[in-house]
Structure 1
Amino acid sequence: MTNDIQLPGQQEAVIRHSLRLLRSFEYWTGSSLLNVNGSAREIAQALFAAPFALVSHGTEPDPIFNYGNRKALELWELSWQDFTQMPSRKTAQEVVQQERNRLLAETTSKGFSNYSGVRITSTGKRFYIKDGILWNLLDENNHYCGQAAVFSNYEFML
């Protein structure tokens, strides 16, 4: 992955989802995920280029990623197309699935959670996330529409 990954096709749905990510984070945490101004497109581009990893998945029975910013795509070593077709459970090894499931359920009931844990890239590299935040996504009518996670503190494991 290179740093020249652009916001996918400047798609209106991705731009709307980017604003949803920001609004939902602020709703649950009372903090801003990214201090940025401008048009919706400029805000979405800034979020995509942010220095932290940001991902989200939908509400499918086996949730599929529907967003990964440039840092996340680089970290998981995937293209936008591949990332947004992957079940989010595939980023955690089988041995930590139970803890991941507990965290997702806790977040569903509380709105957001802090987390740390091991995740795995598409090529099998493991990394440890520290001080991540997982939160529920709300659509424009405040209906639950998935979950998102953000982190900037991580280290690869041997």
Structure 2
Amino acid sequence: MSDRAAVSARGADFAALLLDSHVRLVGTPLCPLRWREGEAADWLYGRAPFGLLAHDTSADPRFIYANRTAQRCFGYSEAEFAGLPSRLSAAPDAQEDRDAFVAAVDRQGFADGYRGRRVRKDGSLFWIENVCMWDLVDADGHKHGQAAVFRSWSDVTGPS
């Protein structure tokens, strides 16, 4: 599966990679439901009540997936998210914090409990909270990137 195909197709194979790698590495299901063929992909993309993002394994990782909740939070369309360097999701003064979280995932396979300041397309800031990030690793051990789920978000108000 190519990274670009994962974004545009939002298919069952990519949903399975998201769900299976989360259970394998984090130890809990991303979603508490059992799915019929194709249902997981549609629900994760269009109806999940949380933001879900994934980036590839390039030296400067680029987004390969953003569900509708993440698109609304960040203010980017699916087409605008596709290929956007994931580092641009954080404001310049929040890069060190973001990089430390990504590095923890690189070391451990996942990290949980993160809260970070992010920047929308229009430049406004918001918090992502209750974030879990994990490696997207298939059953053969091949790493396809990393994914992150954020279950709450709020606007930055006052001094950050």
Give the secondary structure class of the aligned counterpart of 1:103: helix
- Is the CA contact 1:64–1:86 (under 8 Å) kept in the aligned structure 2? yes
Give the secondary structure class of the aligned counterpart of 1:150: strand
Residue deviations 1:77-127 (CA, integer Å, cap 9, x gap): 111111112110001011111121121111111011121110111111211
Extract unaligned runs of 5+ from structure 2.
1-6
Q: State percent identity of aligned pairs.
A: 32
Following superposition, the deviation at residue 148 of structure 1 comes to 0.7
Instruction: Name the structure 1 match of 2:133.
Output: 134
Aligned length: 149
Extract unaligned runs of 5+ from structure 1.
1-7
Residue deviations 1:36-67 (CA, integer Å, cap 9, x gap): 33333111001112000000000011111001
CA distance in 2, matches of 1:71, 1:150: 10
Instruction: Name the structure 1 match of 2:3.
Output: none
Extract structure 1 runs of 4+ deviating beyond 2 A: 35-40
Query: Which residue identity is paired with 1:29?
Result: V
- Is the CA contact 1:36–1:46 (under 8 Å) kept in the aligned structure 2? no
Instruction: Name the structure 1 match of 2:4.
Output: none
Q: How does 1:47-126 map to 2 (within 5 A)?
A: 47-48=44-45, 49-114=47-112, 115-126=114-125
Q: CA RMSD in A?
A: 1.6
Query: Which residue identity is paired with 2:86?
Result: S
What's the TM-score, normalizing by structure 1?
A: 0.87
